[in-house]
Structure 1
Amino acid sequence: MLIFGILFVVFLLSGMPLAFTIGISSLAFFFAQSDLPYAIAVQKMISSTQSFPLLAVPFFVMAGNLMNAAGITKRLVKFSTVLTGHMTGGLAQVSVILSTLMGGISGSAVADAAMESRLLGPDMTKQGYPKGYSAAVIGLTSLITATIPPSVGLILYGFVGEVSIGRLFVAGIIPGAIMCLILMVTVNLTMKSKEKKGICVIPRMPKASAKELGTSFLESFWALLFPILLIVTIRFGIFTSSEAGAFAVVYAFVVGAFVYRELDIKSAGEVLRQTINDNGMIMLIIACSGIFGYVIVYNQLPQTMAQFITGITTHPQLLLLIILVFLFIAGMFMEATVNTLLLTPIFLPIVTSVGIDPIHFGILMMTIVTMGGMTPPVGVTMYTTCQLIGCPTEDYVKESVPFVAAIIVEIALLLFFPQIVMWLPNVLFPV
C-alpha cells in the first residue's frame, strides 16, 4: 500500500495524465503483492465499464456537443442577454444566467467555462471589464452546472454510490437556482464597488421590451424545454437515466437538424470527433479507477477512514464539514470526475452511517469538488478560462475571492438546512 501511495503522489505531482496516474500506481500494488493474480486488475478495468447506468455519461456528453453545434447555445446567449444585459454588471450577469441554462445542456463545468470564455470573454474585454474579473466570473459561475441536471458528475456519483440518479437530478435544481441568485447578487455588489472606485465603468444595455423578451423566449423554447422533459420522463418512469441520455441525443439532433436547421454533415462529423475524444478520456479514467477501487477496498481503506473520522466526531454536520474540507483540498489537485470515482466509495458509507442522506451528500460533494477545479494550484477550469481570456492566474485568484465566499455561504446553507436539497426529491420521488 505504501508503494501505491508514493507512486500515486509522485505521478500526480509530475503532471502525468490522471488516468495513467491512477492505473499505473494501482498496477504497481498488484506487482508488489505476490498473492494477487494480475487477472483481477484486468477484470476490474473491464467490469467497471460494464454498467447500464453508466451509458448515461457518453449519451449526455454527445447531447451537449450536439446542442452546441445545433445553435441552441447561441440562442441561450441571446435569451440571457435579453433577461439580464441591462442590470449592473451587464455581461457578467449574462454569464450567471447562461451557466444556469447551460447546466441542462453541457453537464460539465469545464465545457461551460470554455464555451463562455470564447463567447463572452472578448466582448467583456471590449466593454472594459478587467480580464481577471471576466475570468473569475465565467469560471466560478460555471459551478452551477455541477448540480443543474444533467450533471455528468451526479451521474457518476449515482453510478458509483448506487444512488438514484433521478432523485439526484431533481435535488440539484433548487441549490442550482440559489447559487444563481447568490452569484447575481455578488456580481451586482462587486461591479458597483468597481464603478464607485473608478476601476471600470461599464455602459448599461437598454432594457429589453416585452416583445423582445417574448421573441427571444420563443427562439430558445426548445433549449429551455429540454431539462424539463428530462426530469418529467425520468420521474414518471418513461425513461431510465441511461435511456434519457439516448433521448437527449435524438432530441438535440432533431432540434438542430429540423427545427433550427444549423446541424449539417460537417458539424455533425465534428460533434462525433469531439464526443469520441471526450468519452475516451472519461472511460479510460473510469476503467483505471476500477483497479483503484479494488485496491482501496482490499486494504480496507474505507473502514480505516471511517474509524479515523468518526473517532474525531460522530456529530453528523461536523463530520460532514470535515469531509467537505477534505474534498475541497482534493478538488484543488484532481479533476472532479476523478474525485467522484475515487472518493465516493470511501466517504459515502461514512456519512450514511451517521444518518446523512446520500442525496444530500451527493449535491454537497459535487459542488465542493467541482469548485476545487476553479481554485489554485491545479484547477482545470481556472486555467481554461485564464488561457482563453488571456489573463494571469494571480488576477483571477484576486477577483475570485468574493465569488468563492458567496459559494461557501450557499454550501453552509445546504449543510445546515438539508431540507433545501431534500424537499423537491421527496415531493417528486417519495420513498
Structure 2
Amino acid sequence: MSLMVFFIFFLLLALSVPIAVSLGFATILPGLLDSAFKGNLAFVYRSIFAGLNTTTVIAIPLFMLSGAIMAKGGLSEKLFDIFAVFIGKIKGGMPCAVVVTCLFYGAISGSGTATCAAVGAMCIPVLTSLGYDKVFAAALVATSAGLGVIIPPSVPFISFALVTDISVGDLFLAGVLPGFLIAFCIILYVQFYCRTKGEDREKIEEKYRSLKGRGTLRVVLDGFWALLAPVIILGGIYSGIVTPTEAACVSVFYSILVCLFIYRTISFRQLYGLFKQALNSYAPLGLMMGLAMAFAKIMVLLQAPQQLTTFLSAIVSNKYIFLLILNLILIVIGMVMDAGPAVMILAPMLLNITKALGIDTVHLGVIMVTNLAIGFVTPPFGMNLFISAPMIQTDPMQVGRKSLPFIGAFLIALLAITYLPAVSLCLL
C-alpha cells in the first residue's frame, strides 16, 4: 500500500498537478481504499491541525514577514555596499561581494527564494552595469541564494525540527559552518571565472571609487543596522534569552523599527501590503506543511519507515554508501519538490535507518537541507531560476545551464558536509 501511495504521489507531480493537491490526494488515498484503515479522513484532519498547533510553526511566517519587510527596506543594498567597499577592488571582488551578501541576507530572511528576490533585484543590475555577463550574474545570485536555507535562521530547519522532535537551535548552529563552506566554494569558482573570462576593470574601478568616495566608515555605519539583524536574532537564540519563535517575533519588530524609523525606506501605508504579502506566501506553505505532517503519520500507520529500513538494510549496510545514495535521491527530489514539504515527508521515513547506521539526526538535517537547496537551481522546477531569469528577461533554462559550474561548487561542499560530520556538529 505504501509503495502505491508514493507512486500515485510522484505520478501526480509528473503530470504537473500542484504539490498540495498531489500530497493531499496521496494522504487520503489509503482511507478511501480501505474503510477499516485507521487513517481515515477524520484522522487526516486531526493530524493536519495537530501538526500545525505548535508554537514552533509560528516562527516560519514571522521570519517570512521580517524578510519581506527588510527586502522592501533595501537592506540587501546596504549589505552589498559594505562588502563591496572592502573586497570590490580585488579580482572578482564584486561578484564575491554578491555571494557574501546572500550569505548574510540569508541570516535575516531564512528563505532561499526571498534571498534571491531581494539580492537579485539589486545586485544583478549592478553586476551587468559593471560589464559582467547578465546570465552569469543571474546564475550567481540564483545559486548563492540557496545559502538562505542553510545559514540560520532557516525555514526548512524549522520544518525538520518539527517532524523529528530535535532542537531548532541545534540545527541553526549546525548550519553555520556548512553555509560558510558552500559560500567559500562558490567564491573559488567566481575567482576562476573572473580570471579566465576577464573583467571590465575600468567600470569596476569607477564603482569602487564611488563607494570609497562616500567614505568607508560612512558606508559601514549606513549598513550597521542591517549587519546587526542576524547578530540580534542568532545571539538571542544562543544566549538563551529568546526561543527561535520569540526570535522570529523580535526580527519582525526589529525590521519594522529599522526600515520605518531609522532608514525610512518604507511607510506605514506599505506595511499592510507587506503583511498581506507574507500571509499570501505562507498560506500555501502552511497547507503543505499540515498535509506533509498528516502524510508522515499515514506512512507510519502503513509501516512505511520500517519497510524502508528493511529494504535499505538488505541492499546496503555501509554508512558511506548509504549517504551517497541518499544524496542522489535528495538531489532528484529537490528538482521537483520544495525543500520544506520534502523535509517533512522524508525525514520521518529516514530516521530509523539513519539511527541504525549511526548517523546523527542533526547531521541528517543539514545533509537533507543542503541537498534540497541545490534544488533551487536545478531544472525543471528550480524556483530561483524562475525568480532570477525575468530580471534579465531570458529563459530560466538558460540561467540553469549557466548555473551548472556553481552547482558543481555546491556539490563539492556537499560531499565535505556529508562525509565530515564535524563540519556540522563541531559547534554543538
Using the size of structure 1 for normalisation, the TM-score is: 0.92
CA RMSD of aligned residues (A): 2.0
- Matched with 1:13 is 14
Distance in 1 separating the partners of 2:293 and 2:362: 23
Q: Aligned pair 1:287/2:290, yes or no?
A: yes
Unaligned regions of 5+ residues in structure 2, if any?
Answer: none
Pair 1:384–1:45, CA change in 2 (3 A):
same
Q: Deviations over 1:68-114 (max 9, x none)?
A: 23342331232233233323335422320110110111211111112
Report deviation, 1:342. 0.8
C-alpha distance in 2 between matches for 1:25 and 1:136: 35
> What displacement does 1:331 show?
0.4
Counterpart of 2:119 in structure 1 is 116
Is 2:239 the partner of 1:236? yes
Q: Does 1:364 align with 2:364?
A: no
Q: Which letter does structure 2 place at the counterpart of 1:368?
A: N
Aligned to 2:29: 28
Question: Quick check: 1:339 aligned with 2:318?
Answer: no
* Equivalent residue letter for 2:11: V
The SS at the match of 2:335 is: helix
Aligned to 2:57: 54
What TM-score do the two structures reach when normalised by structure 2?
0.92
Supply the distance in 1 between the matched residues of 2:252 and 2:399 (Cα, whole angstroms). 35
C-alpha distance 392-70 of structure 1, shift in aligned 2 (>3 A): closer
Whether contact under 8 Å (1:132, 1:392) holds in the other structure is no
The farther-off stretch of 312-321 and 178-187 is: 312-321
- Report if the CA contact (8 A) 1:310-1:319 is conserved: no
Q: Contact 1:114/1:388 (CA < 8 Å) preserved in 2?
A: no
Please say if residues 26 and 295 of structure 1, whose CA atoms lie closer than 8 Å, have aligned partners that are also in contact: yes
Whole-Å separation in 1 of the counterparts to 2:179 and 2:127: 24
- Count of residues in Structure 1 that have an aligned counterpart in Structure 2: 421
Show the counterpart of 1:399.
402
In structure 1, distance between residues paired with 2:161 and 2:172:
10
How many angstroms apart in 2 are the aligned matches of 1:413 and 1:5?
A: 31
Confirm or deny: 8 A CA contact 2:335 2:382 kept in the other structure.
yes
* 1:204 counterpart residue number: 204
Q: Output the CA distance in 2 between the equivalents of 1:385 and 1:272.
A: 23
Matched letter for residue 204 of structure 1: I
Counterpart contact for 1:256–1:263, Cα < 8 Å: yes
Equivalent residue for 1:352?
A: 355
One-letter amino acid matched to 1:157: F
Distance 1:219 1:295, change over 3 A: same
Alpha carbons 2:260, 2:268 under 8 Å: kept: no
Q: Which residue of 2 aligns with 1:129?
A: 132
Moved more, 76-85 or 201-210: 201-210
| Deviation of the 1:170 alpha carbon | 1.3
Secondary structure in 1 matching 2:107: coil
Deviates most, 29-38 or 85-94: 85-94
Among candidates 72, 83, 87, match of residue 84 of structure 1: 87
1:133·1:399 contact (CA, 8 Å) conserved in 2? Answer: yes
Percent identity for Structure 1 against Structure 2: 27
Q: Which residue of 2 aligns with 1:188?
A: 191
Q: Kindly state the Cα deviation for residue 23 of structure 1 after the two structures are TM-superposed.
A: 0.8
